[in-house]
Chain A
Amino acid sequence: MTPSTDLLLLAVIGLNLFVATSSRLRARIRACALQGIALAALPIAVDGANVLTDGPGLHVALAVIATLVLKAGAIPYALTRAMYRSGVRREVEPFVSMHISLLLTAGLVGLAFYIGGAVLPRLPGTSPLGIPAGLSTLLVGLYLAMSAKTALSQVIGYLILENGVFIIGQMLLGEFPLVVELGVLLDVLVAAMLMAVLVVSGQEVTEFADLEDSRPSLVDDTSGGAR
């Protein structure tokens, strides 16, 4: 546990609040990329003392580089391209106004701190901020994926949700087997790319950016379904 870990985790939480309240997609994508950088730095910060004395092990180095390249490079790039090609730049008429959104997100962060402190176990020696930070990232991501109206914002919500799961995993396990870590990263990359492609090709076929019909919802809706 080092002060730099706590700083990184606080930055992650701050970025969550920022994403939930900005309506410009570009800003959201950038915040998502910044969160990716914070995530990549996390293993180094957690492992701080060891890295300084021994240098980063091959395992940590690979994981850090892969996270940086994918979460701060390839995925934001793909999303930005999709944004320009689909011509949707901002969240139009969101279901929930930005002010209420800010309140809700803050509430979610508070809830995460309450649950994270009480329920989940943590490894001795990790930051007490870790689990609540991960949980709040997860909840904010879920909220975005459910409530956003534009397709790209939903993708951003999914990515933030995945970041949250990753932070929790990091705090519970320290480090993952390399094959799991790289496999998960690769899957997230392909999922984001595929979603970006679908957004663009959907835009070409219909007025797709306004996702009224296909907004994923966990409430079944056969009448509005695709026929």
Chain B
Amino acid sequence: MMLWILLGLPCIFAIAAGFLRSPRAILVLAALGSIAVAAFGGFVAISAISSPIAAWENNLRLDVLSAYHLVIIVLVFAFASFYAWGHFVPQIAEGSFGKSTARRFGASWFSFLASMILVLMSNNIGLLWVAMETTTLASALLVSLRPDAASIRAAWSYLMICSVGIAMALLGTFLLAGEAKAVMGVAALEAGSSPFLWTDLMKIAHEMRPDAVKLAFVFLLVGYGTKAGLAPMHSWLPDAHGQAPAPVSAVLSAVLLNCALYAICRVVPVVNIATDGAGWGILVPFGALSVIVAALHVLREKDMKRLLAYCSVEHIGIIALAVGLGAPAIALFHTLNHSVAKMAAFFYAGTIAHDRGTKKADEIGGLLRIHPVIGTGLIASILALIAMPPSPVFQSELWLVKFGISKGHYVSIGVLLLGVAILAFGLVKPFFGMVWRKETSDIRPFATPWHQWVITILPLAILLVLGVWMPTPLANVIEQAAAIIGVIP
């Protein structure tokens, strides 16, 4: 029942947004609605930690792993909706956020939230695919919220590449279920087992043929990997994340990528059991390639939001690498750190780009004088993203390096360190340039309204706390969730 309510809430808000008349009311609904979903989602997630919650003949199921991701999603959505309210309200007066845009925003914003919650809740791998494709559809509408040529083009290539990519994941799903059905036999199927249910797959995984499961996993990895932005399937990502309005970019980068990786992590244990632990190694080359490719792209990029988008490719690569090397706990902790830091960075970059009228870092100067609060936030979040201590990103990367060296994965760790170093250089140059460069135009410093204080202080405070102190309950949850991914026969 709780799962149905959690799924139903955003759906109701999505419909309600279609009926409201004023753009202002829709933005308030988005903010308050997302905070309500966050509160209820947090409650459901906490109750799911001790024992998994299931509904609808086990098609829906929330265990620790999905509850952990659920908390990240609702948290980021609550922040992003609050930021969206502060970001779009001035645009109502400017005339670029009218009634129809607002309705489209409200409806697709909540459908996007609902579909991501469904991704996490699906115990049925077919339903998981359906939910994942729905996230693409809802977010494509959000990317093309502003109907200019660049946005439509970005939405087009996002929709096309991800739909084609995800079709491969559907094939992988069918291959996995087909193998499971052949193993289960008629008796088990009539007794109510389904080849689509993850819990049933886990029970019979050791009987599946390794080759068949590996084949299915390759398709699943390519399919969901396209959605997660793993290189070499990442080409749509900088366009979509760069062109979307800032709150949408924040959500796309901070949680949608996690959702896609979560889908891969769901099938990893099935593959590992079926192949005696040989499954997750396939993730390593994808992760390493993402780290290097993203780092090289960052070097020649000037656009602030595209820089952050490539930085996401890099961090998703690090997470995939961590899972691939067999350290899912580090991967999960890194997921949380990256989500909070990336969300914050997109907020600040979006506000600055809107105020200055350009996204090009080399056209902006006097950052700290003109945007004292938001500018400081931007620099702090960039430092967090390039793993400056006391950032928690530093913690998780350090652990990964230690773990990799202790297990003898010298090449992967070398690639990781090289990528992280290039990324740090590539991000510091444009973003610190904005601080040091003199602003030539006579632009006056912007005032800081109260909501900008809130979105500057809160995410950075979360990062600081995570960087210096790991709460014991969080550590326990991460360990339990990692045990689900890292189950070894």
| Shortest CB distance B94–A (Å) | 20
- Whether A201 pairs with B161 at a CB distance below 8 angstroms is no
User: With an 8 A cutoff between CB atoms, is A138 at the interface?
Assistant: yes
Neighbour of A214 across the interface among B126, B137, B156, B242, CB < 8 A: B156
Instruction: Give the segment of B6-14, B127-135, B323-331 that binds chain A.
Output: B127-135
A226 touches B239 (CB 8 A): yes
Nearest residue, chain B, Cβ from A155: B160
Per-position 1/0 for A185-227, Cβ under 8 A of B: 0110011001100110110011010010110111111100111
- Asked if residues A165 and B242 are in contact (CB atoms below 8 Å), the reply is no
Verify B156–A161 contact, CB threshold 8 A.
Answer: no
Q: Which residue of A lies closest to B194 (CB)?
A: A177
The verdict on A218 contacting B233 (CB below 8 Å), with A205-B147, A206-B149, A227-B303 known, is: yes
Q: How far is the CB of A4 from chain B (nearest CB, A)?
A: 23
Asked whether, in the complex, the Cβ of A119 is within 8 Å of the Cβ of B215, the reply is yes
Interface of A is mostly: helix
A169-B175 Cα distance, complex, nearest whole Å: 7
Given contacts A173-B177, A218-B232, contact A191 B133 (CB under 8 A): yes
A121-B178, A168-B174 as given contacts; A184 in contact with B129, CB under 8 Å: yes
Which of B163-171, B265-273, B461-469 makes up part of the contact surface?
B163-171
Please state if A179 and B179 are interface contacts (CB–CB under 8 Å). no
B280 within 8 A of A: no
Contacts of B179 in A (CB 8 A): 121
When each residue 115-128 of chain A gets 1 if its CB lies under 8 Å from chain B and 0 otherwise, what string results?
Answer: 00001110100000
Contact B160 A217 (CB under 8 A): no
Please state if B178 and A172 are interface contacts (CB–CB under 8 Å): yes
Q: Chain B residues near A191: list those with CB within 8 A.
A: 133, 136-137, 159, 163
* Cβ contacts under 8 Å, A199 to chain B: 156
A220 and B130 contact, CB distance less than 8 A: no
Nearest neighbor of B182 in chain A, beta-carbon distance: A121
Interface of B: prevailing SS: helix
Known A190-B137, A216-B157, A222-B297: A180·B178 in contact at CB below 8 Å: no
Structural contact, A214 and B157, CB atoms closer than 8 A: yes
Interface size class of A (residues with CB under 8 A): 35 or more
A174 to B215, CA, bound (A): 20
**Does B54 sit within 8 A of A, measured CB to CB?**
no
| Residue among A145, A177, A211, A213 facing the most chain B CB atoms (10 A cut-off) | A177
Which B residues are in CB contact (< 8 Å) with A216? 156-157, 160-161, 164, 235-236
Residue A151 is within 8 A (CB to CB) of chain B in the complex: yes
Q: What distance in Å separates the Cβ of B301 from its nearest Cβ neighbour in chain A?
A: 7
Is residue B155 within 8 Å, beta carbon to beta carbon, of the partner chain? yes
Q: A132 CA to B93 CA in the complex, in Å?
A: 59
Chain B residues close to A by CB (< 8 Å)? 59, 124, 126-127, 129-130, 133-134, 136-137, 140-141, 144, 147-157, 159-161, 163-164, 167, 170-171, 174-175, 177-179, 181-182, 194-196, 212, 215, 232-236, 238-239, 242-243, 293, 297, 300-301, 303, 306
| Chain A residues with a Cβ under 8 A of chain B | 119-121, 123, 138, 142, 145, 151, 154, 158, 161-162, 165, 168-169, 172-174, 176-177, 179-180, 183-184, 186-187, 190-191, 194-195, 198-199, 201-202, 205-206, 208, 211, 213-214, 216-222, 225-227
Rank and list the top 4 A-B pairs by shortest CB-CB distance, nearest first.
A172-B178, A180-B126, A183-B130, A169-B174
